[in-house]
């Protein structure tokens, strides 16, 4: 989701249903405050978190919100869906305006899902250049062996994207389980990588994104606010 930057005069014209000329006069009269300070500048850029008052009336007052959700199986990583329950619908009691998911999980995957209304934060987190690592616990149908480690590390070429995956770390946990760390998020990436070995993924659980770890106290379907330090962790 793009950060919602726009011009103050356009915002006011729409919100107050007044032509630009009238907005100019309103601004010059010092009737508009941005974050508590009078603003007379027509060209001023605002975003979704600029606190905007006209006379004594608040026109915009969005607070930044950040949540972690333990996504259960069968819930879709989307804001709306005709068939499946959505991850956003699990955030009961939360104002869902501008809320979006930072880094989707497949329908049958579980684990850490980050949801926010702060598009600058989610963009920085998910931008391919930032290469924030995501760690998954993967359960396979067939036993795995050492050959998987080098194949994941070397990268795999995918025709569909015409690109090779970045080196991925694979640690064998047991015969049927591996811990995989990716620095990117191609479509169904882990399933497709194990698909090269004709080894179907039985369960896929995201444990962490960057240094932000899924809270073990959260049962599937439950969520909580991120702490201030967790919000900053993802930017490291």
Q: How far is the CB of 178 from ligand URA (least distance, A)?
A: 13
Closer CB to ligand URA, residue 65 or residue 110? 110
Distance CA 72, CA 109 (A): 7
Closer CB to ligand URA, residue 4 or residue 191? 191
Contact 229, 168 (CB under 8 A): no
Neighbours of 206 (CB within 10 A): 22
Which tokens is 86 given? 């959505």
CA nearest to 199, candidates 158, 140, 138: 140
To the query of whether residue 162 is one of the catalytic residues in this protein, the response is: no
Say which residues have a Cβ less than 8 Å from residue 170's Cβ, sequence separation at least 6.
148, 149, 152, 153, 178, 179, 180
Q: How far is the CB of 25 from ligand URA (least distance, A)?
A: 53
Q: How far is the CB of 175 from ligand URA (least distance, A)?
A: 21
Per the DSSP assignment, residues forming a β-bridge with 204 are 138
Closer CB to ligand URA, residue 8 or residue 204? 204
Q: Which residues bind ligand URA (CB under 6 A)?
A: 105-106, 109, 188-191, 204
Out of 82, 106, 159, 162, the active site residue is: 106
Closer CB to ligand URA, residue 60 or residue 86? 86
Q: How far is the CB of 212 from ligand URA (least distance, A)?
A: 16
Q: Which residues are catalytic?
A: 106
């Amino acid at each position: 989701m793009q950060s919602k930057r726009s011009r103050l005069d356009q915002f006011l014209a729409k919100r107050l249903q007044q032509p630009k000329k009238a907005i100019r006069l309103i601004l010059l009269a010092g009737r508009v405050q941005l974050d508590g300070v009078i603003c007379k500048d027509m060209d001023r850029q605002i975003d979704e978190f600029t606190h905007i008052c006209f006379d004594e009336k608040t026109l915009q007052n969005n607070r930044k919100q950040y949540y972690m959700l333990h996504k259960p199986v069968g819930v879709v990583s989307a804001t709306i869906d005709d068939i499946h329950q959505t991850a956003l619908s699990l955030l009961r009691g939360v104002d869902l305006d501008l809320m979006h998911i930072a880094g989707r999980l497949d329908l049958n995957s579980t684990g850490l899902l980050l949801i926010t209304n702060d598009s600058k934060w989610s963009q920085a987190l998910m931008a391919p250049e930032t290469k924030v690592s995501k760690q998954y616990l993967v359960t396979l149908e067939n036993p795995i062996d050492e050959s998987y480690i080098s194949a994941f590390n070397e990268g795999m070429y995918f025709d569909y994207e015409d690109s090779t995956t970045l080196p991925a770390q694979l640690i064998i946990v047991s015969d049927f389980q591996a811990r995989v760390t990716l620095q990117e998020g191609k479509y169904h990436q882990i399933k497709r990588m194990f698909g090269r070995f004709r080894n179907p993924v039985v369960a896929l659980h995201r444990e962490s994104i960057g240094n932000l770890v899924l809270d073990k106290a959260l049962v599937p379907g439950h969520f909580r606010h991120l702490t201030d330090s967790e919000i900053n962790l993802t930017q490291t």
